[in-house]
């Protein structure tokens, strides 16, 4: 497949967080080692695992067959089950292992809800892409094991590009120019859409450009929402919007899928988990799509990422080592990765990027092995993104501000300045120190 994993890993950036995440109100020792047993030596224990990846039942069944001393009791999360986790941890009734969004980590960390996994799982670093590992280490402490990620690729209508003789863009400058060519060739088709309700597009672009919404500096959080990396992304999208090169439509709505099916949106630059949704919702367009690497910013070959899910071990868990042993097997072993990939996720483990079950021809994309593009992208994502404790609040604020951009009441740059101020206020209201 042409991937040179070791060389790509060798050149990737490595996250170096600051030294004081625990500027938070809660700063007590949350090490999970105190009450843990020894996974290999202690008698049979049963740990409870909550997750949502399809097929986890089969993975747990295999683990239980092969590990009589560490039995796993699996609960499939649906609906609002994730919302129950914080209260369960605080009450001491949480499962031993929980799947959650990587973006949720800091909010739990500052509330002392996650076990320190550095001693029991810190040796796993080389099993994962640098960006995935960087997302679970704060202040040098490991709080989760990466499970899946969302590296980006450019899904494009090959038939439309071929019909009008437009080259597939490799940079964001070329993307804008391709949008202009497409508008001249057929004014009814736009090169992409702007969706104020889907913040993942913005996250992936800022991440691709080496930026982040938050960081850690000394004894305080930093807010980087309007930093140069974000403003460069804003410049690209302001041009696309001002020149009517993109249509504005809310993502996931019937109107959005109608445009996709009608072929009036020519590209979707998004995460590795999107192709299956595209296939399900735009069956009539089968065979017309292809996937290319995401357009890049000048001087960089980095791809973006939307983030993914992780496995955590809540504080209060009695059997940290046993839980960690199961999580390690699930996310790094050949058998565990096969279960995860067959469940439809894009793995964070490097070994998963070369797994034969991931690299299959996709009929919807004309027989292309599209995950080769996403696997290559996963190795180029900068390890610069740092989630903050107010991630959910920032997301909501972005939606509000971008709705005003869509209505022409603000520019992207103006919205980012206002978002910066709101983010500082949210962190301050939580009692956290903030470097502005």
- 216 within some domain: yes
Question: What is the domain count for the chain?
Answer: 2
- Pair (230, 282) in one structural domain: yes
- Pair (234, 110) in one structural domain: no
Nearest residue to 103 (alpha-carbon basis) of 129, 82, 88, 127: 82
Under a CB-based contact definition with an 8 Å cutoff, are residues 49 and 60 in contact? yes
Q: What's the confidence (pLDDT) of residue 34?
A: 40
Distances (CA, A) of 5 to 13, 191, 302, 375: 14, 32, 15, 10
Taking the C-alpha atoms of residue 137 and residue 115, their distance in angstroms, rounded to an integer, is: 12
118-167 pLDDT, tens per residue? 999 999 999 999 999 999 999 889 999 999 999 999 999 999 999 999 99
Is 255 a residue whose pLDDT tops 90?
yes
Residue for token pair 């502005």: 436
- Pair (328, 291) in one structural domain: no
Last residue of a domain, one of 289, 323, 344: 344
Average pLDDT, the chain: 90
- Pair (296, 156) in one structural domain: yes
Counts for the chain of helices (H) and strands (E), in that order:
18, 15
Taking the C-alpha atoms of residue 346 and residue 177, their distance in angstroms, rounded to an integer, is: 31
Domain range for residue 293? 152-300+389-430
- Pair (295, 321) in one structural domain: no
The beta-carbon contacts of 360-364 under 8 Å, at least 24 apart in sequence, are 362/275, 362/279, 363/286, 363/287, 364/275, 364/278, 364/279, 364/286, 364/287, 364/289
Q: 42 pLDDT band (50/70/90 cuts)?
A: low
- Pair (216, 268) in one structural domain: yes
Under a CB-based contact definition with an 8 Å cutoff, are residues 132 and 375 in contact? no
- 339 within some domain: yes
Is 80 a residue whose pLDDT tops 90?
no
Taking the C-alpha atoms of residue 414 and residue 109, their distance in angstroms, rounded to an integer, is: 32
- Pair (282, 182) in one structural domain: yes
Q: Angle at Cα 336 formed by Cα 335 and Cα 340, nearest 5°? A: 120
- 71 within some domain: yes
- Pair (87, 197) in one structural domain: no
Query: Who contacts 400 (Cβ-Cβ below 8 Å, separation ≥6)?
Result: none
Least confident of 14-18, 188-192, 245-249: 14-18
Q: 16 pLDDT band (50/70/90 cuts)?
A: very low
- 359 within some domain: no
Q: 318 pLDDT band (50/70/90 cuts)?
A: very high
Query: Who contacts 365 (Cβ-Cβ below 8 Å, separation ≥6)?
Result: 275, 289, 290, 291
Q: What's the confidence (pLDDT) of residue 81?
A: 84
Q: 217 pLDDT band (50/70/90 cuts)?
A: confident
Distance of CA 188 to the CA centre of its chain: 32
Of residues 356 and 27, the one with the higher pLDDT is: 356
- 314 within some domain: yes
288-317 pLDDT, tens per residue? 999 999 999 999 999 999 999 999 999 999
Is 23 a residue whose pLDDT tops 90?
no
Q: 218 pLDDT band (50/70/90 cuts)?
A: confident
Q: What's the confidence (pLDDT) of residue 415?
A: 98
- 16 within some domain: no
- 38 within some domain: no
What's the average model confidence in pLDDT over 86-107? 94
326-368 pLDDT, tens per residue? 999 999 999 999 999 999 999 999 999 999 999 999 999 999 9
> What pTM does this model have?
0.89
- Pair (325, 258) in one structural domain: no
- Pair (325, 281) in one structural domain: no
- Pair (63, 98) in one structural domain: yes
Q: What's the confidence (pLDDT) of residue 39?
A: 55
- Pair (174, 93) in one structural domain: no
CATH number at residue 128: 3.40.190.10
- 349 within some domain: no
> Residue 5: CA atoms inside 13 Å, Cβ hemisphere, count?
16
Under a CB-based contact definition with an 8 Å cutoff, are residues 41 and 125 in contact? no
């Amino acid at each position: 497949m042409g991937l040179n994993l070791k060389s790509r890993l060798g050149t990737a950036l490595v996250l170096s967080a600051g030294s004081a995440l625990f500027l938070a109100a809660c700063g007590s020792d949350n090490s999970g080692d105190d009450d843990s047993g020894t996974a290999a030596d202690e008698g049979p224990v049963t740990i409870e695992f909550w997750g949502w990846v399809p097929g986890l039942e089969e993975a747990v069944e295999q683990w239980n067959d092969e590990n009589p001393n560490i039995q796993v009791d699996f609960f499939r999360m649906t609906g609002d089950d994730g919302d129950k986790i914080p209260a369960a941890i605080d009450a001491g009734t949480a499962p031993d292992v929980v799947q959650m969004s990587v973006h949720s980590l800091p909010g739990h960390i500052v509330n002392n809800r996650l076990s320190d996994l550095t001693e029991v799982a810190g040796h796993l670093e080389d099993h994962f892409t640098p960006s995935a590992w960087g997302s679970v280490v704060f202040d040098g402490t490991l709080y989760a094991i990466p499970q899946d990620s969302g590296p980006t690729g450019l899904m494009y209508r090959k038939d439309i590009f071929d019909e009008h003789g437009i080259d597939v863009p490799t940079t964001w400058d070329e993307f804008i120019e391709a949008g202009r060519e497409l508008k001249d060739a057929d004014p009814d088709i736009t090169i992409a859409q702007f969706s104020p309700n889907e913040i993942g597009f913005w996250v992936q672009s800022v991440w691709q450009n080496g930026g982040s919404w938050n960081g850690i500096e000394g004894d305080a959080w930093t807010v980087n929402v309007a930093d140069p990396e974000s403003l460069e992304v804003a410049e690209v999208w302001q041009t696309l919007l001002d020149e009517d090169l993109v249509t504005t439509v809310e993502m996931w709505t019937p109107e959005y899928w109608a445009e996709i099916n009608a072929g009036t949106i020519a590209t979707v630059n998004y995460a590795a988990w999107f192709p299956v949704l595209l296939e399900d919702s735009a069956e009539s367009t089968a065979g017309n799509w292809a996937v290319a690497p995401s357009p890049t910013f000048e001087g960089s070959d980095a791809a973006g990422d939307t983030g993914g899910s992780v496995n955590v071990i809540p504080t209060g868990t009695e059997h940290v080592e046993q839980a960690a042993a199961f999580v390690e097997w699930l996310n790094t072993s050949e058998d565990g990765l096969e279960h995860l990939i067959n469940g439809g996720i894009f793995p964070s483990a490097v070994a998963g990027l070369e797994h034969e079950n991931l690299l299959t021809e996709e009929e919807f994309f004309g027989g292309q092995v599209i995950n080769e593009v996403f696997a290559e992208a996963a190795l180029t994502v900068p390890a610069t993104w740092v989630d903050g404790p107010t991630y959910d609040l920032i997301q909501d604020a972005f939606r509000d501000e971008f709705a005003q951009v869509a209505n022409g009441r603000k520019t992207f740059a103006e919205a980012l300045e206002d978002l910066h101020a709101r983010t500082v206020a949210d962190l301050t209201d939580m009692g956290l120190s903030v470097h502005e």
